[in-house]
Amino acid sequence: MRSAALLCLLGACTGSAGAELDVDAGADTDAMPDGPALPTADELRQRVAGCAMELGGPYAPGSGQPADISICGFPGAVVWRADLDVDCDGKETAQCNPQTDPYFMNQTAANDSNGDPLDAAALPFVVVPGPSMRFDFRDAGLGMGMVVAVVFEDRVEYGPLGDVGPAAYIGEASYAMAAALGIDPDPATGGTAGEVTYIAFTEAELATIEDHAAAVELGVTRARDLLAAP
């Protein structure tokens, strides 16, 4: 059960798909809300450096690797730093299918507004570990459709939580998210072992999970809030 103190720390005390966006490069600026300069990759990494409040873990980035990754709490956000494995589950496409992905599944934990599995090849989204004794994303105020800022090198991309992965491993995002970050999206051979920062915002649920422009707008707003928080 989530505590009032935890929810307050996380900022919860009060009750089109397929577009690739390089936020740092200023692409698709029509989707951006008015206001201060866009949060940069360096600003976001610095803001969530360290782990003042550990919410869960430890996780491994994959089978046979050390379990030394924690999930941390920040004002209005839940953060982890891991690698990025490519999730190609959901709608079967030329990029994501049983031939291109040996672990392909035709379902995702979240469905789109038509009730269909998400399209990993078109929609940038993030995978969260399944609930376990290590961590239950629901107890931290997260759920499918909530916006995540994903930071890699000099790029920032935004997208919803869209799928649930293995309970012991962390660090996974969709084919489209990898491509938007400049990471090889091939589900069999792609991904990166480099550090990727995932900043999942609480109380930031999209009305339409496949609306990427809305994810960017809401994500930028919540990232600015995080940078401004004491």
Token duo for residue 166: 């293995």
Closest CA to 45 of 195, 160, 201: 195
Token duo for residue 36: 């201060």
Buried b (16+ CB within 10 A) or exposed e, 111-129: bbeeeebbbbbbbbbbbbb
Mean pLDDT along residues 184-212 = 97
Confidence (pLDDT) at 5: 34
Which amino acid is it at 214? A
* Higher pLDDT among residues 25 and 208, named by residue: 208
Closest CA to 80 of 43, 52, 51, 105: 51
Domain ranges of the chain: 18-228
**Hey, is 128 helix, strand or coil?**
strand
User: CA-based diameter of the chain, in Å?
Assistant: 49
Other CB atoms within 10 Å distance of the CB of residue 40: 17
Confidence (pLDDT) at 26: 37
Has residue 12 got a pLDDT over 60? no
Are 160 and 50 within 8 A, CB to CB?
A: no
Pairing of strands 192-205, 146-152: antiparallel
Query: Is the N-terminal amide bond of 58 cis, ω within 30° of 0?
Result: yes
Mean pLDDT along residues 206-229 = 98
Confidence (pLDDT) at 52: 85
* Higher pLDDT among residues 22 and 196, named by residue: 196
In angstroms, rounded to a whole number, what is the distance separating the alpha carbons of residues 230 and 225?
10
Token duo for residue 220: 């930028």
Has residue 27 got a pLDDT over 70? no
Token duo for residue 64: 């046979």
Has residue 31 got a pLDDT over 80? no
* Higher pLDDT among residues 67 and 28, named by residue: 67
DSSP state of 223: H
One-character DSSP codes across 134-187: S--GGGGT--TTEEEEEEETTEEEEEEEEEEE-TTB--EEEHHHHHHTT----T
Confidence (pLDDT) at 33: 54
pLDDT tens digits for range 127-142 = 999 999 999 999 999 9
Confidence (pLDDT) at 41: 98
Confidence (pLDDT) at 35: 60
Confidence (pLDDT) at 37: 87
Closest CA to 177 of 212, 208, 145: 212
Other CB atoms within 10 Å distance of the CB of residue 57: 18
**Hey, is 107 helix, strand or coil?**
coil
Has residue 83 got a pLDDT over 50? yes
DSSP state of 90: B
> What does pTM read for this prediction?
0.86
CATH architecture under which domain 18-228 falls: Beta Barrel (2.40)
Mean pLDDT along residues 52-71 = 96
